[in-house]
Structure 1
C-alpha cells in the first residue's frame, strides 16, 4: 500500500477579519462539524492526562446518536497517561493520524505511527505516552461495551492500515472499498471502526437508511455527501455525525481519493426499553 496522508487538526484561531459564515450545521438527523471549527477555544483536558488536549466531536445525546463518543487527541512530547480510561465498561479504538505514540497494553509496548490502529476491550490495562515528539494526534472512539450471553469480550490488538488490504464492495471494481480491522462475523465485537475509500467518481448509489449510528471523519480528499434531504460538501478534516436511520449517500468528485474513518454499532439485539442499558 502506498503511503497515506491523514488530516489532523492543529487548532489556532482565525483572524478578526474572517467572515463568521461556515459550513457547520446541526439538525435533528445529522451534524456536520467542519475542520475550521476545531480551534483552541473548543478543546478540553482530561483527568489523569498530562500535556494533552482533546477535541470532543461526538458524545452520547438523548434523541440523537446515543452509543459512542469520539475524541481527537493531541499529546505533546513527554505527555500521555498512566490511567487514560476511567470507565471500566468502556471499549476503545485508537487511530493515529500524526506523529507517534507508545501504547502499552499490559507489559507490551507498541509504537503507533500514522495509520496505526488499536482495539482496547473493556477493563484493558493500557497506558499511552508520546516519547518520540513532536506532537502526536490520534482519534479515540469510546463505547460502553454490550456483552452477549456466552460470548467473551474481544482481545486487544494493534495493527496498521498499511498491513490490511481493502475489501472492494461488490460490483464496484474497487472504486468503493472498505478497510476492515475486524472480521464482520466476529460476534465478540459490538462496534466496527473501518476506513472507507472512494476513488474519484465513485458513489454510494442509493440512500442508505439503517439502524446503525455513524461518526465519519474525513481523512483525505473531498466529496458531496447526501445527508437526510441535503447535499453537503465535505473535505479532509470535516466530521459527519449521523443518528440512526438518517438517509445517506455520497459522490466522490476527486481529484484524489475520498477517505474517511467510520464508526458504527453492530451485532447486538436492540434494547426494548426507552433507556439505554
Structure 2
C-alpha cells in the first residue's frame, strides 16, 4: 500500500498562482499543493513536530471533529498529546514508524497503522526512527449514550482488515471498516474506501453525517452539491451535513481515501444527553 503525505516546502517563484482550492458553504477542497511549510502549526506539548490542521469545528459548517496531519522529526513526539478531557481519537500513519504507548502497552505503527484512542486513555507518541513520521490525527468529543459502555482503545492496520465489497458492486466499491457498524459504543467511524478504476458512488448521498475525506491513493471526480471536482492523492475534502456527494474513480489504479463520519447518536435538541441544560441549543448542530 502507498499513502500520500503533504509535500511541504514552497512552490518555486516561477510557478503559476492558480490552484484547485475551493471553499463553499457546503464543502471545502484543500488540495495537496497548498499543504506547504508556511501553513503549518506547532502544537503545545509536542517537540520536533509540526502539523497541518485540515478541519476544525466551524459554526454553520462542520462542527463534530478536528483533523490534523502531524509530522514528527526523528526524536520528536509528545508525552501527552491530548490536553482536553473527553476527547477520543483515531491515528492513521501514512509514512515512517510511529511509536505509540497506549495505556501502558507499546506499539509501533508503520504505514497503514491504525489506532483508536478512547477518551480518557493514557497515551504518548514518539518517532524513534531515522526518518520523519507522518500521521493523521482525528479528534472528536466522545458522546456517551445511556446504557452503553464506552468503547476500548485498540490498534490494528490497513493490511490486517479485509475490505468489504459494497452490495451489488462486484468489488468495484469496497470499505475497510475498523469498527463493527453494529457496535453502538462508537460514535465515529474512520474507514478506508476503495474504488477500482471506473467504480462509483452511483447516487448523490445526502445525509446528516459530516465527512473528512483524505485521498490516500489515485484520483477521482467528486460531485459535491452541484459541482464536479477532480481530486487526487494528497487532497482533502471537508463536507458539512447534507452536502450531496457522489464520485467515480478515474484510474488507472485504485482510488482510496480515509473517511471520517459521525454516527450512532440521536440528534440533540436540548443540550446534554442526560437532560441537563434543557432549553439551551446544542451548538454542535450550528
Query: Structure 1 length as normaliser, TM-score?
Result: 0.98
How many angstroms apart in 2 are the aligned matches of 1:54 and 1:19? Answer: 25
How many angstroms apart in 1 are the aligned matches of 2:243 and 2:130? Answer: 40
- Choose which of 155, 158, 178 in structure 1 pairs with 2:155: 158
Q: CA RMSD in A?
A: 0.8
1:140 counterpart = 2:133: no
How many angstroms apart in 1 are the aligned matches of 2:268 and 2:58? Answer: 16
Tell me, what secondary structure is at the counterpart of 1:150? Answer: coil
Please tell me whether the aligned partners of residues 99 and 136 of structure 1 are also in contact (alpha carbons under 8 angstroms): yes
How many angstroms apart in 2 are the aligned matches of 1:101 and 1:197? Answer: 24
How many angstroms apart in 1 are the aligned matches of 2:7 and 2:24? Answer: 27
1:108 counterpart = 2:105: yes
Mapping of 1:57-76 within 5 angstroms? 57-76=54-73
Tell me, what secondary structure is at the counterpart of 1:232? Answer: strand
Q: Which segments of 5 or more consecutive residues in structure 1 lack a partner in the other structure? A: none
Query: Structure 2 length as normaliser, TM-score?
Result: 0.95
Tell me, what secondary structure is at the counterpart of 2:5? Answer: coil
Mapping of 1:113-132 within 5 angstroms? 113-132=110-129
Please tell me whether the aligned partners of residues 100 and 133 of structure 1 are also in contact (alpha carbons under 8 angstroms): no
Tell me the alpha carbon deviations over residues 194-213 of structure 1, each in whole angstroms, 9 at most, x when there is no partner.
Answer: 00000000011000000000
How many angstroms apart in 2 are the aligned matches of 1:88 and 1:58? Answer: 20
The aligned counterpart of 2:213 is 216
How many angstroms apart in 2 are the aligned matches of 1:240 and 1:45? Answer: 23
Shift of 1:275: 2.8
Shift of 1:253: 1.5
> Number of residues paired by the alignment?
274
Runs of 4+ in 1 over 4 A off after TM superposition: none
Please tell me whether the aligned partners of residues 7 and 33 of structure 2 are also in contact (alpha carbons under 8 angstroms): no
The aligned counterpart of 2:282 is 275
